[in-house]
Structure 1
Amino acid sequence: MDSLRDKPTPELLVLHATIMEELRARNVLRTANNPTGDLAEYLFCAAFGWVQEANSAKAFDATGDDGTRYQIKARRIHHRNKSRQLSAIRSFDGFDVLAAVLFDEDYQVVRAALIPAEIVHGRSTYIERTNSHKFLLRDAIWNDPGVVDVTNRLRAAEKC
């Protein structure tokens, strides 16, 4: 394979678009947005057999066999941005458990957890400007009672 450094910018953008379309064709991605959130939804549903909701479902992304509603959030940690802030949480009424994953720069699972909604609510900060809650996926969350570390389960799913 030729070095990417030798390719002109338009060719790199075409390659990126082609890869994104192939990932959509494989049902890994569902939107044309940044792939981080779609990848997280795909991996959690593959790992646990959850049913993915329609893109328009409010406040939850998937449902388990037992009726548990999961909000799925992810963050890709990059050497240029090490933030662990997940995307905005609009409502705590619609989900029972937050399924959260941290990816490295190469979209490999670093850590993943299932976090009860009440813990997420207690550790979130309300942001009036956006009418949403901010939640940081810090390492300490894995020590909270009720939080389940599912890192290995997601790593196994990403190999499929």
Structure 2
Amino acid sequence: MASFPAESARPLEAHSTPALLGQYAGILAELRARGVIRTANAPVGDYAEHIAQQVYGGTLANSSVKSHDLLSEASQRIQVKARAVGRASNRTTKFSTFRSFEFDLACFLLFDSRTYDLIWARELLPDVARSLARHSDHVNGDHLTRAVVEREGTDVTAEFRRVLELAGS
């Protein structure tokens, strides 16, 4: 289980909400310009895809492609799932929904929500992911929990951390 440092002071508390949102928009614009993120959504998913591309090589798929996020240099279709979690999150936290299992490898990244530091990275083959996933009629898809992925996935954290250190990301 990940450990989190003690809460720190709130250096931004004096800023107004509109000022903070303006800074956030500026930060997202800069991350887009650097090629780290591709959308205006919360950056964890785009950041995870960016890191996965550095690990596996290859090309990021268009956002409209539902079956995979990355086509690796080895021609593997890779689905990338990411979550940013804080101390209060528990092991039943779910990764985003699978709409398809038409990929060759699922890669899961777990980040600290306050620092975006990588906590761990895991891989699952599609048949394993499908067998462990729980279907939700509400979202018409399947999902995996943090605990299941952490327990059943192949640990590839070292490879991801190595790339992060080399890239200075």
Superposition TM-score tier, normalisation by shorter sequence: 0.7 to 0.9
CA RMSD across the alignment = 1.7
- Counterpart for residue 122 of structure 1: 131
Question: Sequence identity of aligned pairs in percent?
Answer: 31
SS at match of 1:5: coil
Instruction: Tell me the number of residue pairs that the alignment of Structure 1 and Structure 2 aligns.
Output: 154
1:99 aligned residue (91, 103, 107): 107
2:163 to 149, 153, 157: 157
**TM-score between both structures, scaled by the size of structure 2:** 0.83
In structure 2, distance between residues paired with 1:141 and 1:57 = 23
Q: Report what 1:86 is aligned to.
A: 95
CA shift digits 1:66-90 (9 cap, x unpaired): 2211000001112344453100101
TM-score by length of 1: 0.88
* Distance change >3 Å, CA 148–CA 75, structure 1 → 2: same
Q: 5 Å matches for 1:6-155?
A: 6-82=14-90, 83-92=92-101, 94-105=102-113, 106-138=115-147, 141=149, 144=152, 147-155=153-161
Report the residue type matching 1:152 in the other structure: A
8 Å Cα contact 1:44-1:50 kept in structure 2: no
- Cα distance in structure 1, aligned partners of 2:159 and 2:89: 26
State the distance in 2 between where 1:118 and 1:37 align: 23
Runs of 4+, deviation exceeding 6 Å: none
